[in-house]
């Protein structure tokens, strides 16, 4: 029986662990968290951090897995690449390239070098440099840590809405606050999420955002679909919904494809999935970021199979195993997810959820594929500052993207959440 190391056992990794089992593999799930949900689906659990590459290498020498992979998590991509390289195994992405896929500073530099359209950016590691970069870039820009994910530490800085921005990040605001004090709070916030200490100051790319799911087979990349993304703005960018296929004009989609393919090539991915985030600006499509893994947020696990028939998790495993990769679409319809979250017009930070009703009704609405609540009565209501603050989601299908979006939104309206003071 062939053996596989799956790096990461969080909920995001469960589909890959299950798929590896279905393919008849003996699965070791690795995670630093002994409570990780994926452990239950694996044959064996190894309590090892998936960013500790030396420890994973040691374990690989002991247990001798035939394959080492990760599925939808960011940081283990580096570790899998390094351990595969050390052991002389087939590597879908080189370690050096995996660094570019997981560190936004390395990524921006690589992409610029390879002429992939990116926003103007400055890398800083002190407050003096941050101020200097801000003065070069203007009064509206993005500040983000070099090496985090899930929008942690990412802020849209806007000098004309200091109060909103600072309240959003939980920092103090005062009426006569100087620009310097304002910038200091932002810098400290982004830096707080940066493992290596670097912060990126970037031009704010105005325009619609999409993600591009792709599978590369022996150096040839196949775009599976383009997904329209809905995010909150000022000051955070939390994803509130996804709809596919994209409803943007075809020429814009062509531009998006070209930028995605250029970014995948610039990264040097040889095999496996990529998830590329792109903003469509007045001067064309530009790269937000690219990851050498499957897209999260239910895009590859639920939306892509519903709208295209492609099982990207199976594609990824087949690629790892050197089997035929079935990336071709077998259908063409629409799918959409809408997240349920706290209304940003009310301050519910200190409130709790009193009741959640209408779930069964929502499930019976046309096109609804699933309704999942991640919060329950008694939980803190909170405000929407990152994806963990969302209350749940509805996934729906339709004959096209527009109908799928309508179906998902109609179902969300059936769910009634009452909040109360603690």
Ligand X SMILES: Nc1ncnc2c1ncn2[C@@H]1O[C@H](COP(=O)(O)OP(=O)(O)O)[C@@H](O)[C@H]1O
Q: Which residues bind ligand X (CB under 6 A)?
A: 119, 142, 144, 149-152, 154, 202-205, 209, 231, 237, 277, 279, 288-289
Nearer to Mg ion, 110 or 414 (CB): 110
Q: Which does 237 bind (CB under 5 to 8 A by kind): ligand X, Mg ion, none?
A: ligand X
260 vs 258: CA distance, rounded Å: 5
Nearer to ligand X, 74 or 314 (CB): 74
Cβ–Cβ < 8 Å for 326, 306: no
Closest separation between CB of residue 198 and Mg ion, Å? 17
Report DSSP letters for 326-351, one per residue. Answer: --S-----EEEEEEE---TTS--TTE
Name the nearest CA neighbour of 10 among 46, 39, 45.
Answer: 39
Closest separation between CB of residue 244 and ligand X, Å? 16
Please identify, among the stretches 49-57, 184-192, 223-231, 286-294, the one whose residues bind Mg ion according to the rule CB under 5 A. 286-294
Q: Which does 238 bind (CB under 5 to 8 A by kind): Mg ion, ligand X, none?
A: none
Closest separation between CB of residue 214 and ligand X, Å? 17
C-alpha distances in angstroms, 308 versus 133, 329, 347?
43, 5, 39
Q: Which does 11 bind (CB under 5 to 8 A by kind): ligand X, Mg ion, none?
A: none
Q: Which does 409 bind (CB under 5 to 8 A by kind): Mg ion, ligand X, none?
A: none
236 vs 238: CA distance, rounded Å: 6
Cβ–Cβ < 8 Å for 91, 84: yes
Provide the 3-class DSSP secondary structure of residue 49: coil
Q: Which does 202 bind (CB under 5 to 8 A by kind): ligand X, Mg ion, none?
A: ligand X
Nearer to ligand X, 187 or 204 (CB): 204
230 vs 197: CA distance, rounded Å: 29
Residue, CB closest to ligand X: 237
Crossing angle of helices 104-113 and 95-102, in 10° steps, is 110
Nearer to ligand X, 20 or 51 (CB): 51
Q: Which does 231 bind (CB under 5 to 8 A by kind): ligand X, Mg ion, none?
A: ligand X
Closest separation between CB of residue 148 and ligand X, Å? 6
Task: Give residue 332's region: left, alpha or beta (phi > 0; psi -120 to 50).
Answer: beta
Q: Given the DSSP bridges, would you call strands 368-373 and 272-281 parallel, antiparallel or unpaired?
A: unpaired
Nearer to ligand X, 97 or 239 (CB): 239
- The sign of the dihedral angle between the CA atoms of 74, 80, 86, 92 is negative
Q: Which does 53 bind (CB under 5 to 8 A by kind): Mg ion, ligand X, none?
A: none
Task: Provide the CA 420 distance to its chain's centre, in angstroms.
Answer: 32
Which phi and psi angles does 245 have, rounded to 5°? Answer: -75, 165
Closest separation between CB of residue 290 and ligand X, Å? 10
Alpha helix (H) residue ranges in 162-210: 162-168, 179-192
Q: Which does 255 bind (CB under 5 to 8 A by kind): Mg ion, ligand X, none?
A: none
Closest separation between CB of residue 376 and ligand X, Å? 27
Cβ–Cβ < 8 Å for 385, 168: yes
Closest separation between CB of residue 209 and Mg ion, Å? 9
267 vs 290: CA distance, rounded Å: 8
Nearer to ligand X, 208 or 309 (CB): 208
Please identify, among the stretches 273-281, 365-373, 387-395, 406-414, the one whose residues bind Mg ion according to the rule CB under 5 A. 273-281
Closest separation between CB of residue 323 and ligand X, Å? 31
Closest separation between CB of residue 261 and ligand X, Å? 19
Nearer to ligand X, 144 or 338 (CB): 144
Contact residues toward Mg ion (CB under 5 A) are 277, 289
């Amino acid at each position: 029986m062939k053996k596989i190391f799956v790096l990461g056992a969080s909920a995001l990794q469960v589909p890959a662990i299950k798929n590896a089992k279905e393919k008849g593999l003996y699965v070791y799930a690795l995670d630093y968290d002994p409570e990780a949900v994926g452990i239950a689906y694996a044959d064996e659990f190894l309590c090892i951090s998936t960013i500790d590459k030396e420890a994973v290498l040691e374990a690989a020498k002991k247990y001798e897995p035939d394959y080492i992979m990760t599925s939808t998590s960011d940081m283990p991509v580096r570790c899998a690449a390094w351990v595969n390289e050390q052991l002389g195994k087939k590597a879908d992405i080189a370690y050096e390239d995996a660094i570019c896929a997981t560190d936004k500073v390395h990524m921006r530099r690589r992409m610029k070098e390879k002429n992939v359209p990116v926003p103007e950016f400055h890398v800083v590691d002190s407050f003096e440099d941050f101020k200097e970069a801000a003065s070069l870039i203007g009064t509206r820009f993005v500040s983000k840590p070099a090496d985090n994910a899930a929008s942690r530490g990412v802020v849209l800085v806007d000098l004309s809405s200091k109060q909103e921005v600072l309240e959003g990040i939980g920092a103090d605001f005062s009426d006569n606050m100087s620009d310097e004090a304002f910038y200091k709070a932002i810098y400290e916030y982004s830096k707080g999420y940066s493992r290596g200490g670097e912060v990126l100051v970037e031009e704010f790319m105005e325009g619609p955002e999409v993600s591009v799911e792709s599978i590369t087979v022996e150096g040839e990349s196949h775009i599976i679909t383009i997904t329209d993304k809905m995010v909150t703005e000022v000051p955070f960018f939390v994803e509130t919904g996804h709809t596919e296929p994209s409803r943007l004009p075809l020429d814009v989609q062509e531009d998006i494809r070209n930028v995605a393919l250029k970014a995948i090539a610039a990264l040097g991915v040889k095999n496996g999935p990529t998830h590329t985030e792109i903003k469509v600006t007045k001067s064309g499509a530009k790269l937000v970021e690219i990851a050498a893994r499957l897209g999260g947020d239910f895009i590859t696990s639920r939306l892509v199979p519903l709208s295209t028939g492609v099982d990207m998790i199976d594609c990824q495993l087949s690629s790892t195993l050197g089997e035929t990769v079935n990336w071709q679409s077998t259908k063409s319809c629409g799918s959409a997810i809408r997240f349920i979250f706290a209304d940003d017009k009310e301050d519910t930070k200190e409130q709790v959820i009193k009741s959640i009703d209408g779930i069964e009704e929502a499930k019976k609405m046309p096109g609804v594929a699933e309704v999942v609540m991640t919060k329950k009565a008694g939980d803190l209501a909170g405000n929407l500052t990152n994806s963990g603050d969302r209350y749940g989601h509805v996934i729906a299908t339709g004959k096209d993207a527009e109908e799928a979006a309508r179906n998902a939104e109609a179902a969300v309206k059936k769910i009634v959440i009452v909040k109360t003071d603690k």
